[in-house]
Chains A and B, each alone.
Chain A
Amino acid sequence: MIDIGYNATLVAIGAGLLGVAAGVIGAFLYFRKRSLMSDAISHATLPGVAIAFLVMVALGGEGRNLVGLLTGAALSSLAGLWLVHWINRNTRLGEDAAIGAILSVFFGFGIVLLTVIQTIGAGRQAGLESFLLGSTAGMLRADAYVIAVGGALALIACLILRRPMTLVSFDAEYAATQGLRPGRVDMAMMTLALAVTVIGLKVVGLILIVALLILPAVAARFWSDRSEVVALLAGVIGGVSGAVGAVISSLAPGLPTGPIIVLVAAALFTVSLILAPTRGVLAGVIAQLRFRHRVHMRQGLLALAHGHRVHEGYTLRLLRRAGLIRADGVATSEGQREAALAAQDERRWTVLRGRPEAATLAAHYDGLTPIDTVLTSDQLTELDRLMKQGSDHGHATIRRAERGRSDG
């Protein structure tokens, strides 16, 4: 075990908890296609932080009280959220435009206020900039408690609301018929995102918190087709990113915690993108290559069965490597046997597809699936009997169909 010291352990635990909460809630935002909303929420916190500082100083108190600053952040973020909602509802602007406008205006206003604070109360403002990119250097036990309790409450709310949120995200109209109010469920979801953003301000900062809400969710999506599993996995990925990122940043002086956490999350996302089974990039490439292999093999065999010449280089290589043709392109005895089987399969399919009562079975036809994987042996016997019966009558059509397919 690496000994990283008391403060670093505290930060790692806090960041891990924050990551879990952000991952799970971010997953629901992603389901609802509202991930970017979190960007507006987080940027809209800045004026609140500055105003809360000014108010607390004006009242003669300590300007850097964390709870006070976070309350200010939550209030101004709520105002931003409400404005986005209002613009989207009452003007012709879409949500994306509203998010862009609110995000930049609030952030700009917040920066102006920070500058003002810097000039009037020089010296005392120290620390407010840390809300931009997060700062864990002076993290106290109390701060860790704030994160732990806030994160746990947000997770419990998420657990209670998981069905309404899932239903509204998948099919809002149906959700309405089930007695849910999609508008209210959305509001609850946004409030949860806001809560996570506010408690995450101290650790990752308002510019990067959006990454912790989005990256775990999209990474988790690669691994599962079930919403509950995706949400859980997003929590795990977020938690690991937070904890590991915090530990890494504590290993060397001067490594910023927030950005490192985001980079760890991005690394997990990249791994998921490439390596995930079925949805990952690598799996896609392999599946494509396999498919190409099957298509060329099948077409090659059918061409052999009908005595056509194979021209395509890739097909020739495949057949030669499998020992089905000789170097001069003539079929080996094994090749002849395989080709005959393929041709028989194709003939059986043609008969099956011509029979209306077998429409559901015939729908499995894709030119590659062997028919005996679709039919039972009884059905196969029946099919062969039909083929023998109709061979005089149907022969010409079958041959024509085969010829059409094997060219290409």
Chain B
Amino acid sequence: MNDLSQTAPLKVRGLTVSYGATPAVFSADITVQPGAMTAIIGPNGAGKSTLLKAVLGIIPRLSGQVEVYGESFDSQRARVAYVPQRASVDWDFPTRVIDVVQMGLYRQLGLLGRVRGQHRALAQECLSRVGMSDFAARQIGQLSGGQQQRVFLARALAQGADLYLLDEPFAGVDAATEKAIIEVLKSLKAEGKTILAVHHDLSTVPDYFDHVFIINKTPVAEGTVQEAFTQDALQRAYGGRLASGLLDQLFPVANPAPPASFGAGPA
């Protein structure tokens, strides 16, 4: 029993994905800790989303093994929920918010299982968890970007999974949504669930996450935020693309203000 809870929810070995002849992700190893909130960070085009999609089998992988709770992903599908980036959806599709959440139950319902009161109640509860219960009957395209993102999170919640994979959940959402989503993720963590999210905002990493996986085509660093989220690792992943102001803000002690003679230049 104790052993099971120690099994890594997700273990990837030697994963390579390529578009044409250029690898987008090359030989990536990642081990996600149970009960942790892990951020995948890296510069644009570093293969963050690609990594996630290849793990989920949305795009084919060239090589590599993926283990979910020590077994093949196929056999563990029910324990994995995915929240895609918003752009991947047809917004004019004839479907209401509550229908989208119920799509999270389709796998469980099978081809012909009827949607019963208990399923509707569950979907409604998932909606209220993300603060969207008032919008259940709206067509999905009538929501703001942040609201749409919350509905996708509710759909993942409806699955009742143990491992949650999110692709840029905070991209282009308003502050209220960001707060609502992080509350839900934290409550999932409190229930012992595991969360892995592609994240782009470095300044919120220490607040939101306890583990990081830094990647730029190949893995750069992996571990707890304290161990792996270092100035050195970020410099290696992002090269010169990081604003120095951001680094000062993230690592105030490690990076003391430079002596006055150097600081006099234009900011």
Q: Which residues on A are within 8 Å of B, measured CB to CB?
A: 31, 33, 159-161, 163-164, 166-167, 169-174, 176-179, 221, 224-227, 229-230, 359-360
Separation of A161 and B109 alpha carbons in the complex (Å): 13
Determine if B191 is an interface residue (Cβ-Cβ < 8 Å).
Answer: no
Separation of A176 and B53 alpha carbons in the complex (Å): 10
Say which one of B16-24, B30-38, B84-92, B212-220 lies at the interface with A: B84-92
Flag if B77 contacts A225 (CB, 8 Å): no
Contact of A173 among B88, B94, B109 (CB under 8 A): B88
Flag if A167 contacts B95 (CB, 8 Å): no
Flag if A359 contacts B176 (CB, 8 Å): yes
As a 0/1 sequence over residues 100 to 131 of chain B, the CB contacts with chain A under 8 angstroms (1 = contact) are: 10010011010110000000000000000000
Separation of A229 and B106 alpha carbons in the complex (Å): 18
With most chain B CB atoms within 10 A of its CB, the pick from A33, A159, A167, A179 is A179
Flag if A178 contacts B94 (CB, 8 Å): no
In the complex where A163-B109, A169-B90 touch, is A176 in contact with B56 (Cβ < 8 A)?
Answer: yes
> Can you list 29 pairs linking A and B with CB atoms under 8 Å apart?
A31-B94, A160-B112, A163-B109, A166-B95, A166-B103, A167-B103, A167-B106, A170-B93, A170-B100, A170-B103, A171-B88, A171-B89, A171-B103, A174-B84, A176-B56, A177-B56, A177-B58, A177-B80, A178-B106, A179-B74, A179-B107, A224-B94, A225-B95, A225-B96, A226-B94, A226-B95, A226-B99, A227-B93, A229-B94
Flag if B93 contacts A178 (CB, 8 Å): no
Contact of A161 among B80, B100, B111 (CB under 8 A): B111
Determine if B139 is an interface residue (Cβ-Cβ < 8 Å).
Answer: yes
Please, which residues of chain A bring their CB within 8 A of the CB of B96?
Answer: 225-226
Flag if B77 contacts A179 (CB, 8 Å): yes
Flag if A173 contacts B58 (CB, 8 Å): yes
Interface residues of chain A: helix, strand, loop or mixed (majority)? helix
In the complex where A163-B109, A225-B94 touch, is A176 in contact with B58 (Cβ < 8 A)?
Answer: yes
In the complex where A160-B112, A179-B74 touch, is A174 in contact with B93 (Cβ < 8 A)?
Answer: no
Chain A, residue nearest B85 (CB): A173
Q: Which residues on B are within 8 Å of A, measured CB to CB?
A: 53, 56-58, 74, 77, 80, 82, 84, 88-90, 93-96, 99-100, 103, 106-107, 109, 111-112, 139, 155, 176
17 extra A-B contacts, CB within 8 A, seeds A159-B112, A166-B103, A176-B58: A160-B112, A163-B111, A170-B90, A170-B95, A171-B88, A171-B90, A171-B103, A173-B82, A174-B155, A177-B56, A177-B57, A177-B82, A178-B77, A221-B94, A225-B96, A226-B96, A359-B176
Separation of A161 and B112 alpha carbons in the complex (Å): 9
Separation of A173 and B89 alpha carbons in the complex (Å): 9
Chain B, residue nearest A27 (CB): B94
Separation of A177 and B84 alpha carbons in the complex (Å): 10
Separation of A117 and B96 alpha carbons in the complex (Å): 54
Separation of A136 and B110 alpha carbons in the complex (Å): 41
Flag if A230 contacts B58 (CB, 8 Å): no
Flag if A174 contacts B57 (CB, 8 Å): no
Chain B, residue nearest A159 (CB): B112
Please, which residues of chain A bring their CB within 8 A of the CB of B103?
Answer: 166-167, 170-171, 174
Separation of A2 and B53 alpha carbons in the complex (Å): 61
Separation of A360 and B111 alpha carbons in the complex (Å): 39
Please, which residues of chain A bring their CB within 8 A of the CB of B139?
Answer: 225
Contact of A31 among B89, B93, B155 (CB under 8 A): B93
Please, which residues of chain B bring their CB within 8 A of the CB of A172?
Answer: 88
Separation of A176 and B60 alpha carbons in the complex (Å): 11
Separation of A179 and B73 alpha carbons in the complex (Å): 10
Flag if B74 contacts A33 (CB, 8 Å): no
